[in-house]
Amino acid sequence: MPPKVYPAPLIIPPLNGSHTHTIISLHGRGSNAERYGYELLESANLQARLLTVKFIFPTARKRRSTILKRIPINQWFDNYSLEDPGEKTELQIEGLCETAEFIRGLIAQEAQILGEGGYRMIILWGLSQGCAAGVFTLLGGWNDSSVEKALGAFIGMSGWLPFEQQLRDILRCHDNPASIQDEQHDTQSDDSDTEDEESSEQEADSEENLEASGDAYSDTESNDDLFQRNSSSHDDFDPFEGDEEEVAPPIIQAVNHIRDILDLPIISAEEELSQDGSSIKGLHHLQIPIFLGHGSEDPKVSIKLGEKMTHVLSTGMGIDATWKAYEGLGHWYRVEDEIQDILKFLQSRVGLPVEPESSVDKGQDEKQ
């Protein structure tokens, strides 16, 4: 079957002509590249702050929404409920598989344009369902797992992790870390606010229309003993039970579960540790810094889903994940704190050139 056709992405070249990095940013369900992309760029003045960055905003192709009575909307994958993302997960598989293939193609094209080390110069970014699709694509890796293709960073806003419960079972990381437990919020999606209560195509056609204010901060740490822990034997859960072949460490089982969903070749259970013992060959794509931000008052995607995602990535998979919660913020982003935190993160962790706000404001005043 030929690949599904996606609309042409919105491409914004660097302002100063020098192209050092590319940001590929995915919109939320029901939106599109133009609506999401232009608003993000203008509200945060990102082009002026990131002079050497090329921005790519893809648009999800239209898919029939099960919870909206089969109305076609722009969505990266179909899903049944955000109160329980593990419900009817079979609806998500086709879209996740197609979207991951599409995103991998965009990344590969940009890496070729950027030249040697190009993958490390690419930042994948997503809002809401765009975050969910992006992080799942990232965790699945590439067709050829033997080739190192780690990206520069992943940025997620107001998102969740598809198949999170299944991955937690495989990785045996059921307890949230204390740093997240201490920051637990009582905010949950109620019946009147969640996405599965949207009643018309017009409401569903823009997931990103809520206002926000406030801030909060918390962090999660990577597990230094990840690979030792993943190599130990357990009797409570074995997704490959009955196989005569050697059982892989849980982290490889988890990645292979994702790769199976995305129709990618399975990584061998006999993958060896790297020479310094810090990572497993075939899992190079997990060596990436991740920033996850979420509003404490999000009525559509509960902040608890973001916390669970961070726990799986950090504790379960040993990924360098930074978590920040923003008090008073709903299902959107806020420029004065969340976007500023993201820019600081990219500057320190990726070496992304970021213009200070003062110089940008001064330049705009002079033009006026």
pLDDT digits (tens, 9 = 90+) for 286-325: 999 999 999 999 999 999 999 999 999 999 999 999 999 9
pLDDT at site 296: 97
Q: How far apart are CA 260 and CA 132, in angstroms?
A: 17
> Residue 75 has what pLDDT?
97
Q: What is the mean pLDDT of the chain?
A: 82
What is the average per-residue pLDDT within 137-164?
A: 95
**Mean pLDDT, residues 11-28:** 96
SS3 54: strand
pLDDT at residue 230 is higher than 60: no
Predicted local confidence at residue 247, as pLDDT: 79
Q: Which residue has tokens 């003993």?
A: 225
Buried b (16+ CB within 10 A) or exposed e, 110-119: bbeebeeebb
**pLDDT reading at 201 higher than 60:** no
Nearest to 314 by CA among 189, 194, 179, 115: 179
Which of 193, 164, 158, 174 is CA-nearest to residue 331? 158
pLDDT at 252: 93
Residue 366: predicted pLDDT: 46
pTM of the full structure: 0.79
Span 28-52, average pLDDT = 97
User: What is the mean predicted confidence (pLDDT) over 114-122?
Assistant: 96
Is the pLDDT assigned to residue 234 strictly greater than 60? Answer: no
Write the DSSP string, 296-361. Answer: TT-SSS-HHHHHHHHHIIIIIT---EEEEEETT--SS--IIIIIHHHHHHHHHHT------HHHHH
List, in order, residues 6 or more apart from 109 with CB less than 8 Å away.
Answer: none
Would you state the pLDDT for residue 297? 97
**Which residues have a Cβ under 8 Å from the Cβ of 358 and sit 6 or more positions away?**
none
The answer to whether residue 350 scores a pLDDT higher than 70 is yes
Compute the C-alpha angle 258/262/267, nearest 5°. 55
pLDDT of residue 147: 84
Q: How far apart are CA 339 and CA 212, in angstroms?
A: 13
Chain centroid offset of residue 11 CA: 20
Find how far residue 249's CA is from the centre of its chain.
24
pLDDT at residue number 359: 64
Average pLDDT for 227-252 = 58
Domains of the chain: 10-225+281-367 (3.40.50.1820)
